[in-house]
Amino acid sequence: MQLLTAKSAVYLLNLSEHDFVRKKNKFLAKVKAWVDSHGGGVMIPISCVFEKKLLDMPDQASRSAYLKECSSQSITVFSEKRVVMPCLLPLEGDQRVTILHWLIPDLKSGCLPKVIKAGLEALNMQCFFTAGTDEVKAWGIQKGTRAPQAAGVIHSDFERGFIMAETMGFADLKELETVAEVKSKGKYKMNGKDYVVQDGDILLFKFNVSPPKKK
């Protein structure tokens, strides 16, 4: 029994640098035919030789220039842009939200996001974010997960004492830039235990776990 053939698959095709740059390879059609006849799957061309050549270059400027010259994308080298992520902590009075500057890849500039997205799709998974004063974390969950179970991925107490999840979408925050603007547009929500977490949600969980009673 070849049970693995029933599972979703992602195929990374390691090409020569020459074929990767010119986006052609004489075996691609045959490989696709084989993949289609064995359950199908996403095919993503990469080139380990090409990636090593980029990583051996002295600086980012050299890599960017070479990528532009080749009109190619890299799986490991990105153009970087800054996205502001808020510190999702209870604030009092006139306190302002602390801003974290989070460097993320430009999703249009590399192959790696394609690999990550294809992997998540194959596993039926997605991510939500939590943010603190010193870090932003992404947590992987199955699609269709409700808020209490998503909280439990962080800590079992979060699920056991779940009260609600303050929620906003990353796309909304990126567009509107501040939490205040997200709230003013009505896109900052208070969701209960039946809320199904969406891909890219930024969540602040409220919970309360009573200490064990003394005997």
Residue-wise over 94-106: b if at least 16 C-beta within 10 A, else e? Answer: eeeeeebeeeebe
Q: Name the residue with higher pLDDT: 167 or 106.
A: 167
Using left for φ > 0, alpha for ψ between -120 and 50, and beta otherwise, residue 40 falls in left
pLDDT at 107 over 50: no
pLDDT of residue 106: 42
Return d(Cα 1, Cα 5) in angstroms, integer: 9
Percent of the chain with pLDDT over 70: 77
- pLDDT tens sequence across 124-142: 889 999 987 778 888 999 9
Higher confidence at residue 81 or residue 23? Answer: 23
Least confidently predicted of 44-48, 50-54, 84-88, 161-165: 84-88
| Cα 201 to Cα 3: distance, rounded to the nearest angstrom | 34
* Stretch (H or E) spanning 206: strand 201-207
80-86 and 189-191: which strand pairing? unpaired
Roughly what angle, to the nearest 10 degrees, separates helices 60-70 and 48-55? 140
Q: Are the CB atoms for 99 and 84 separated by under 8 Å?
A: yes
